[in-house]
């Protein structure tokens, strides 16, 4: 019966611990969703910046596995280079160590108080931000409550001679015992698929006096290797670059643990010397209250040292994994939806990916416009240029479909109301971009209506190209809000839009007047009108896109 009690207490405590971690992570993500998206978008080729991004994002979401899988996804989609990914992974490894310090804080007696304090905003607050913050506090309370129950489950095991004898080998201070503990930590983490859960169990075992401090450190080192399996699994079936990112994560961890294994006794002494409290101190209840801080420091120190060690050699690591994982014979094209189910990703990270894809879509439309202008300016009808314009339009159709489907899947994941509104705005933006591409395609097709003896010339031609450039300047002005994230001057944009509308009406009237005077053949009237209408539609969709961009960048109240 005692064994059954231990098992269900342990499982219940672990369940509360993981549930608390999820609550805390979800609450922090919802509160800091915009921050995460902006941090990801700020990523540059600077290695130190990449490490900082990984560190900050992981501190917010409290999971290096999520950050690493997200990074592999970015590389898979072609939105992040391999060297950037390695930097982010190094930062994520440091960021995840904050979980150990949260567990190690001596406020477990306040667990129920934190649950109560966190529950109140969810029950009474009408402000979404406070509700999510309360959820995060509630998660911390559940986390500590879970640690208490796991400690209670492990405490009786100290009195079980058979159990203590079964783990005796792991507690020896020999390299054989260290290796066995590292291997055990690695295998258990691979099975559980959560290094945070294993870290909590390791701390609970150590605080209960089941395993000594040095064994706990060896287990934590093994857990650092075991957690890489998540990224490896996420990279299966992905692009070569994504598999290289996952492989680099595993190699860095393995090499770092190997070095720590060689000097483990000295490493244990170093950690012990940095904290004045004695890890062997036993409280009146038989627990070891100070060992958790030592484990947390050992975890942090290891990952910080690994980051410092490998940071100068990121390019060399990239070259190594490139040699280990050669290119496939077939050509790979970065593609958004090969990431898999977006519901398994952070909403903020998914939004950052979609935002990047929107910029790519806009760049394709810009190239499409420039080619269309050259096509109209050319003296002869160029079928190859028209085919290229039509190809660009097909590409925008595909991107439009991908982004819309991707974001609809993202909306199935729990998120804040503000994030939901932003995603709806992004869907609106991609709709308007696709419509602009459609009308550029129509403009290109209208060129075929003009035969050699019915070409557009004179004042009508001059006015058409002036209006074409003015409409495109308007589109570029609106698109700046998508590129740099700045708020648009909607009053100025609406004013320019009205001016273009009046200009279009004037152009059509002038052309009809010229036709009535015999300056142009009557057959050009319909075509010219269609051309002006197409440009008016581009203006209209650009104006609608401006409103959607403003909604996307709207401040969260």
Domains in the chain, please, with CATH? 2-324 (no CATH), 341-552 (1.20.58.220)
What is the per-residue pLDDT across 119-138, written as a single tens digit (0 to 9) for each?
888 777 777 778 878 888 88
What average pLDDT does this structure show over 174-198?
Answer: 87
Which pLDDT tens digit goes with each residue over 242-292?
A: 788 888 989 999 999 999 999 999 998 999 888 888 777 777 767 788 888
Which residue carries 């909403």 as its tokens?
A: 347
The residues, ordered by sequence, that sit 6+ positions from 53 with a Cβ below 8 Å of its Cβ are: 39, 40, 42, 43, 87, 88, 91
Predicted confidence band of residue 238 (pLDDT cuts 50, 70, 90): low
Kindly report the backbone phi and psi dihedral angles of residue 412, in degrees, each rounded to the nearest multiple of 5, phi listed first. Answer: -75, -15
Average pLDDT, the chain: 81
Q: Please say whether the beta carbons of 82 and 74 come within 8 A.
A: no
pLDDT of 474:
93
| pLDDT score recorded for residue 1 | 42
User: What band does 195 get if pLDDT is binned at 50, 70 and 90?
Assistant: confident
Res 332: pLDDT: 43
Position 52 pLDDT exceeds 80: yes
Q: Span 153-164, mean pLDDT?
A: 74
Tell me: pLDDT of 143 over 90.
Answer: no
Q: Which residue has the tokens 């991004």?
A: 53
Least confident span in 167-171, 356-360, 370-374, 524-528? 524-528
Span of 71-80, 254-263, 305-314 with lowest mean pLDDT: 71-80
Spell out the residues 6+ positions from residue 35 whose beta carbon is closer than 8 angstroms to its own.
Answer: 60
Distance CA 479, CA 364 (A): 12
Of the given ranges (36-45, 198-207, 504-513), which has the lowest mean pLDDT?
Answer: 36-45
Give mean pLDDT, residues 6-17: 83
pTM of the model: 0.70
pLDDT of 333 > 50? The answer is no
Q: Give the highest mean pLDDT range of 122-136, 448-462, 510-524.
A: 122-136
Task: For residues 368 and 397, give the distance between their C-alpha atoms in angstroms, rounded to a whole number.
Answer: 13
CA nearest 463: which of 493, 435, 500? Answer: 500
Average of per-residue pLDDT across 218-231: 88
Higher pLDDT, 505 or 422: 422
pLDDT computed for residue 453 by the predictor: 46
When pLDDT is cut at 50, 70 and 90, the band that residue 521 belongs to is low
Contact present, 157 and 210 (Cβ < 8 Å): yes
* More confident site: 179 or 164: 179
**Distance between CA 227 and CA 229 in Å, rounded?**
5
Write out pLDDT tens, residues 334-351: 444 444 456 556 777 778
- At 43, is the pLDDT very low, low, confident or very high (cuts 50, 70, 90)? low
Contact 56, 438 (CB under 8 A): no
Give alpha helix (H) positions in 64-173.
64-76, 82-95, 98-104, 111-124, 128-154, 161-166, 168-171
Which letter, b or e, does each residue of 126-141 get, where b requires 16 or more Cβ atoms within 10 Å of its Cβ? Answer: eeeeebbbbbbbbbbb
Q: Region 11-32: what's the mean pLDDT?
A: 78
C-alpha distance across the termini of the chain, in Å? 54
Question: In angstroms, rounded to a whole number, what is the distance separating the alpha carbons of residues 505 and 482?
Answer: 29
Q: Which of 132-141, 148-157, 230-239, 500-509 is predicted with the least confidence, judged by mean pLDDT?
A: 230-239
pLDDT band for position 368 (cuts 50, 70, 90) = very high
Residue found by looking up tokens 């209960």 in the block = 208
> Distance between CA 418 and CA 407 in Å, rounded?
14
Distance from chain centroid for Cα 447: 44
Question: Which comes out higher in pLDDT, residue 268 or 39?
Answer: 268
What is the arithmetic mean of pLDDT over 416-426?
86
């Amino acid at each position: 019966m005692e064994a059954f009690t231990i098992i269900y207490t342990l499982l219940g405590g672990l369940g509360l611990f993981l549930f608390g971690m999820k609550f805390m992570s979800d609450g922090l993500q919802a509160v800091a969703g915009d921050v995460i998206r902006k941090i990801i978008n700020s990523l540059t080729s600077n290695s130190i910046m990449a490490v900082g991004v990984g560190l900050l994002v992981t501190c917010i979401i409290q999971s290096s596995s999520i950050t690493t899988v997200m990074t592999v996804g970015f590389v898979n989609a072609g939105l992040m280079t391999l060297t950037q990914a390695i930097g982010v992974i190094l930062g994520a490894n440091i960021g995840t160590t904050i979980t150990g310090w949260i567990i190690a804080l001596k406020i477990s007696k306040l667990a129920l108080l934190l649950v109560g304090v966190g529950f109140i905003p969810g029950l009474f607050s009408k402000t979404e931000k406070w509700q999510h913050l309360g959820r995060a506090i509630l998660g911390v309370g559940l986390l500590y409550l879970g640690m208490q129950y796991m400690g209670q489950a492990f405490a009786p095991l100290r009195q079980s001679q058979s159990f203590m004898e079964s783990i005796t080998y792991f507690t020896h201070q020999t390299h054989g015992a260290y290796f066995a503990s590292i291997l055990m930590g690695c295998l258990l983490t691979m099975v559980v698929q959560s290094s945070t859960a294993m870290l909590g169990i390791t701390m609970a075992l150590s605080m209960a006096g089941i395993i000594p401090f040095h064994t706990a450190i060896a287990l934590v080192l093994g857990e650092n290797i075991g957690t890489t399996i998540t990224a490896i699994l996420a990279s299966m079936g992905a692009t070569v670059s994504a598999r290289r990112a996952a492989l680099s994560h595993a190699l860095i961890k393995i090499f770092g643990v190997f070095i720590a294994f060689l000097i483990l006794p000295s490493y244990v002494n170093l950690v012990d010397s940095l904290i004045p409290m004695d890890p062997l101190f036993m409280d009146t209840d038989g627990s070891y209250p100070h060992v958790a801080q030592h484990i947390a420091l050992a975890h942090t120190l290891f990952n910080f040292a690994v980051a410092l060690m490998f940071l100068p050699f990121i390019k060399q690591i990239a070259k190594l994994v490139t040699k280990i994982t050669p290119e496939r014979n077939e050509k790979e094209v970065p593609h958004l939806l090969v990431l898999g189910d977006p519901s398994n990703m952070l909403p903020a990270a998914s939004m950052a990916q979609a935002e990047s894809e929107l910029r790519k879509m806009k760049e394709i439309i810009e190239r499409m416009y420039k080619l269309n202008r050259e096509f109209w300016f050319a003296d002869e009808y160029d079928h190859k240029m028209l085919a290229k314009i039509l190809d660009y339009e097909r590409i925008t159709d595909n991107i439009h479909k991908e982004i819309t489907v991707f974001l609809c899947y993202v909306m199935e994941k729990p998120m804040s109301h503000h994030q939901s509104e932003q995603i709806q705005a992004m869907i609106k933006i991609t709709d308007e971009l696709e419509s602009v591409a459609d009308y550029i395609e129509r403009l290109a097709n209208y060129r075929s209506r003009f035969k050699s003896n019915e070409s557009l010339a004179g004042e009508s031609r001059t006015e058409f190209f002036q209006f074409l450039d003015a409409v495109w300047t308007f589109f570029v002005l609106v698109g700046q809000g998508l590129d740099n994230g700045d708020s648009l001057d909607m009053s100025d944009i609406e004013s320019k839009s009205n001016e273009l509308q009046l200009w279009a009406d004037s152009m059509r009237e002038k052309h009809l007047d010229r036709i009535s005077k015999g300056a142009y053949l009557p057959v050009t009237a319909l075509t010219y009108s269609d051309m002006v209408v197409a440009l008016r539609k581009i203006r209209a969709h650009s104006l609608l896109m401006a409103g959607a961009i403003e909604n996307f960048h709207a401040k969260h109240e």
